[in-house]
A and B are shown apart, each in its own frame.
Chain A
Amino acid sequence: MEVFFSFLHDNLLLIYLLIFSILLGIEVISKVPAVLHTPLMSGANAIHGVVLVGAIIVLFNARADDYLSLSLGFIAVVFGTLNVVGGFAVTDRMLEMFKKKKK
């Protein structure tokens, strides 16, 4: 019990942030019309590409003579960039069509 409370105390802000982010994520999505499910999934898909930031940090942290970590980081950055760029571009292409017919 002691451990649990001290953990709670030390990470209070983080825990708040986690809970509010979860609630926010649920709240933002729950009223979406079915028409937008596919673009929305695609847009969310692009946003989790933020993991790219972590890949960049890993590559920075790797020592210059640690080729294994460097290559892993390199491939991770390529994958992450693909996720981000491709994700946003594909979503934009889908949504472009929704705009056209509004005229």
Chain B
Amino acid sequence: MNATYLLDLLYLIAAITFVVGLKMLSHPDTARRGNQVAAVGMTLAVLGTLLLHPSADREMGDARTMKLLLLYAALAIGGAIGWIAAYRVKMTSMPQMVSLFNGLGGGCAALLAVAELKLQHDGFGHAGISYGAMILVLFTMFFGSVSFTGSLLAYAKLEDLVKDSAITLPRHSVVNMILLAGILGLIAYITFGAGENGMMWGLILFGISLVYGFMFVAPIGGADMPVVISVLNSFTGLTAAAAGIIYENLIMLVGGILVGASGSILTILMCKAMNRSIMNVLVGSFGGSSAASTKNAGDQTVREISVNDAAVLLNYSGSVMIVPGYGLAVAQAQKICKELDELLESNGVDVKYAIHPVAGRMPGHMNVLLAEADVPYPKLFDLEEANDLLAKSDVVIVVGANDVVNPAAKDDPGSPIYGMPVLEVWESKNVIVMKRSMKSGYAGIENELFFHPKTKMLFGDAKDTLQKLVSEVKSL
């Protein structure tokens, strides 16, 4: 039996597992199994390529052994680091981690394209030299590089390693347009006219693409990083598909296209949750226009509440709604929050959670964090349901959330987040805002809510404050 027939079968099985896996991933009950199904398919595809792919026999003897050893070493190194990183990372840092892994996938595609260009140049390429194959190689190189540096920058922004303003140039979008035009010109030149010098120009394209990836993400505010990661995710999918066409490899093609398509849909869903268009996110810079806001909060006063008063207020109310934000997550306060919830429930208070679609740093991020603390599913309400319930709630506790409860999104057309759906916490009878300080949120804008007559501020670290609240309620 011909080994490639078996490989074809393995690829077919893997392609089916990808589709079935993705489908299962989109339902809560089957999600975990779906991920495992796709992982099994991936293992089959990779092992099959390793053992059965005909290109393994292009050189025999020592050369073959040496390349196999290199391969096993690379797989072992990548596998070990990936595994350890995935199990060491804190749940709050998940989005960064996804971005990092995505960037490495893009880097993989870009390097693959550079190596393929070199091989084609030396006459050892897989596809031979045709215009179509060349364009695909350069396309893979460009998108892979953009995904690589872009994702690394997104990672750095989410980790707060870089400040948004520090890396934007004057007339940034003009510079980006020039870069992009240069890249397209280079791709055309290398394909049709560069001839002997193709390799050198290819490396120049590689360099400029890396720079472009950085420049592409640089002006986009930290709050929009989830959307950017999703866009870059589908870019990497496209590179995998393009590489699949170069190698006439159907599993790469199918896997890549699936991710490219689903990534684009996911991006659109995320943008909808923030009521913004993709163009607006990618081209319009966030936060830069906040000076245009008509309101000035400087001379308003905030009302503070003591832990003791807050405990009394909570304990003797009928219904409480908790609005968790990223501040809850960084303080690792999910579990103590759940404790307060149980305590209040046992005293006859109805406790629910209002989850904004972009609470945390990625859609669904907050649900993951609360699930980690064993908060039951039925207690979590999404934006629309929550807004109905908020109006009927006696007390709303905002824990470390800011932009998602900002009334400016509804009534201040000058605000950069104007039009974003928010949780209308001010419709309830009382609002307690837990915050470390009066610092503005991730979008870098003032929040009128803190000066609202119904609002009382409870300053301090989310975890400490919740802990104190729990002991106060216990002692009542």
Contacts A14-B245, A64-B67, A98-B31 given; does A50 touch B266 at CB 8 Å: no
B35 at the interface (CB under 8 A from A): yes
Report the Cα distance A48→B255, complex, angstroms: 6
- Which listed residue, A63, A68, A88, touches B39 by the CB 8 Å rule? A88
Chain B residues whose C-beta falls within 8 Å of the C-beta of A44 in the assembled complex: 22, 233, 237, 258-259, 262-263, 266
Task: Decide if B26 touches A46 in the complex (CB within 8 Å).
Answer: no
Q: Which of B83-91, B339-347, B410-418 has 4 or more CB atoms under 8 Å from chain A?
A: B83-91
Which parts of A23-80 form the interface with B (CB within 8 Å)?
A: 23-26, 28-64, 66, 68-70, 72-80
Report the Cα distance A76→B71, complex, angstroms: 10
Interface core residue of A29, A31, A63 (most chain B CB under 10 Å): A29
- Which listed residue, B29, B89, B250, touches A17 by the CB 8 Å rule? B250
Task: Decide if A84 touches B25 in the complex (CB within 8 Å).
Answer: no
Task: Decide if A30 touches B265 in the complex (CB within 8 Å).
Answer: yes
- Which listed residue, B35, B368, B372, B374, touches A43 by the CB 8 Å rule? B35
B98 at the interface (CB under 8 A from A): yes
CB distance from A63 to the nearest CB of B (A): 6
Chain B residues whose C-beta falls within 8 Å of the C-beta of A92 in the assembled complex: 32, 35-36, 39
- Which listed residue, B35, B104, B114, B258, touches A91 by the CB 8 Å rule? B35
Residue ranges of B at the interface with A (Cβ–Cβ < 8 Å): 14, 18-19, 21-23, 25-29, 31-32, 34-36, 38-39, 42, 45-46, 49-50, 53, 55-56, 58-59, 62-63, 66-67, 70-71, 73-75, 77-79, 81-83, 85-87, 89, 91, 94-95, 97-98, 100-102, 104-105, 107-109, 111-112, 114-116, 118-119, 122, 124-126, 229-230, 233, 236-237, 239-241, 243-247, 249-266, 269-270, 273, 357, 362-365, 367-368, 371-372, 374-377, 380, 382
7 contacts between A and B (CB under 8 A): A26-B262, A26-B265, A30-B265, A40-B364, A48-B102, A50-B256, A78-B74
- Apart from the given pairs A36-B27, A86-B83, 5 other A-B contacts in the complex at a CB distance below 8 Å: A35-B367, A47-B42, A60-B55, A74-B74, A82-B79
5 shortest interchain CB distances as A-B pairs: A81-B78, A25-B261, A86-B82, A89-B86, A64-B63
